[in-house]
């Protein structure tokens, strides 16, 4: 179960990374959206969700390290994918990010409500 929590916490960063990438003008995805405030709010909420999920699975230090590493690695991979396959990378990053976010919510619900 801890591996599932860690995977979901890592994938959830794609949700915020795509929102953040849409808030600034990029060569791959065009001009930025007019709401960078929304991108900041999504990024903050995602980091909180990720840290809660990862710390519930692995402890505080390992959870924070997992979140930081996920942002660095998946952010780098997203930039590479944006330059190679702009449309497909946007679609898959959104899907995988949403899947990670839903997994985080389910993992937290399992941890707090169903675990004895």
pLDDT tens-digit profile of 6-57? 999 999 999 989 888 877 777 777 776 767 788 889 889 999 999 999 999 8
pLDDT value of residue 8: 92
- Residue 28 tokens read as 């791959």
**pTM attached to this predicted model:** 0.85
- Residues contacting 23, CB < 8 A, separation 6+: 32, 33, 35, 36, 38, 39
pLDDT in tens, 69-116: 999 999 999 999 988 998 899 899 999 999 999 999 999 999 888 875
pLDDT value of residue 105: 95
CB 36 within 8 A of CB 98: no
């Amino acid at each position: 179960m801890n591996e599932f929590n860690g995977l979901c916490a890592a994938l959830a960063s794609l949700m915020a990374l795509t929102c953040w990438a849409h808030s600034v003008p990029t060569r791959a995805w065009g001009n930025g959206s007019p709401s960078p405030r929304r991108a900041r709010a999504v990024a903050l909420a995602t980091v909180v969700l990720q840290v809660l999920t990862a710390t519930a699975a692995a402890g505080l230090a390992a959870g924070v390290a997992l979140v930081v590493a996920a942002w660095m690695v998946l952010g780098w991979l997203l930039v590479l994918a944006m330059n190679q396959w702009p449309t497909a990378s946007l679609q898959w990053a959104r899907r995988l990010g949403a899947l990670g976010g839903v997994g985080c919510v389910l993992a937290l619900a399992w941890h707090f409500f169903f675990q004895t």
